Amino acid sequence: MLELLSYDFMQRSLAAAMLVGAVCSAIGVFVVLRGLAFVGAGTAHAAFAGVALAYLMGWPPLAVAIVFGLATVWITGLMEEQGRMKLDVSIGILYTATMALAILFLGLMKTYNAEVYGYLFGSVLSVTAEELRIIAALGFCVMGALLIFSKELYFIAFDQEMAEASGVPARRIFYLLLTLVAVTVVVSLKTVGAILVFAMVLIPASTAYQLTHSLAQMTTLSVVIGTLCAAGGVLLSSVWDLPSGPAIVLLATAVFFLSVLFSPKRLNRSQA
């Protein structure tokens, strides 16, 4: 295994996976607490539609994916505020519509393009040095924003109306969170793929949720779990020659089920 680590590609993919794991699991805390899980899943598919369109037209994939991702989260945010339709319904529609777009764009391509499918299923082992730099740059931006606005983000996750009533610019912070979700999804697309990216956002945070009663601890635990699962998944996938995305996600899922089994909350509930 140590021998594997001496390869450039292996170091790159480990670094990419750990970065993505850290960013996804950090933002995941706010996504889980604010109840935006479904929003993220929709965004991932929209971003993939963006990638497909980019390949079809010969545009830069990440840029188009960001545009698609941002459009989806902002539309979703507006729909939630308007409250005219139940959020799960409106996101369900957006989600399937963007997926249909993606399939349409793929169908319009004259030839089979393996690279596009890399964005769907994830291919961390083929991350290039330049892609790693982009992941790192965007990842640090997201982490920086999360740190700077952490107190407001926690507050709106706990109670957005109360946050607004006590003088926090809650609406702007909510849109900031949606924006960060979109950027995170796009950053992670190449590594874990559109289908699995949301697992990386949800699972570490939900695992941490099971284990603690404190916001600060939940965040720390989530990031540790996310980063370790990402690294572990990459190592497993290269040792046993498994696809990397599923290896990371299934490892995280296993940890999640362990946390549910040993959750102090579950023990409390059975006492009550």
Partner 1 sequence: MAHPIIRFSHATFGFHGVAALEDITLDIAEGEFVGVIGPNGSGKTTLCRAILGLMPPFSGSLKIFDCSCEELHCHHRARIGYLPQKESLDRNFPITVLEAVMMGRYGALGLFKRPSKQDREIALQALENVGMQDHSKTALGHLSGGQQQRVFIARALAQQPQVLLLDEPTTGIDITTQYSVLDLVQRLHRDLGLTVLLVTHDINMIRKRVNRLALLKTRLYAAGPPEEVLRPDILREVYGKDLVITEKDLIIVEDYHHHHH
Contact footprint for partner 1 (CB under 8 A): 33, 148-149, 151-152, 154-155, 158-159, 161-169, 208-209, 212-218, 265, 268
Q: How far is the CB of 3 from partner 1 (least distance, A)?
A: 41
Nearer to partner 1, 3 or 161 (CB): 161
Q: CB-based contacts of 219: which residues, under 8 Å, 6+ apart?
A: 26, 29, 208
Least distance from partner 1 to the Cβ atom of residue 236, Å: 29
Closest distance to partner 1 from the beta carbon of 198 (Å):
21
For residues 8 and 30, what is the distance between their CA atoms, to the nearest angstrom? 34
b/e sequence 233-261, b meaning 16+ C-beta within 10 Å:
bbbbbbeeeeebbbbbbbbbeebbeebee
Between 28 and 245, name the residue whose CB sits nearer to partner 1. 28
Number of residues that this document lists for the chain: 272
Residue 63: Cβ within 10 Å count: 12
- How far apart are the C-alpha atoms of 11 and 5, rounded to whole Å? 6
Nearer to partner 1, 35 or 63 (CB): 35
* Least distance between partner 1 and beta carbon 66 (Å): 24
Could you give the CA distance from residue 210 to residue 10 in angstroms, rounded to a whole number? Answer: 32
- For partner 1, which is the closer residue by CB, 118 or 204? 204
- Min separation Cβ 167 and partner 1, Å: 3
> Between residues 7 and 262, which has the closer beta carbon with respect to partner 1?
262
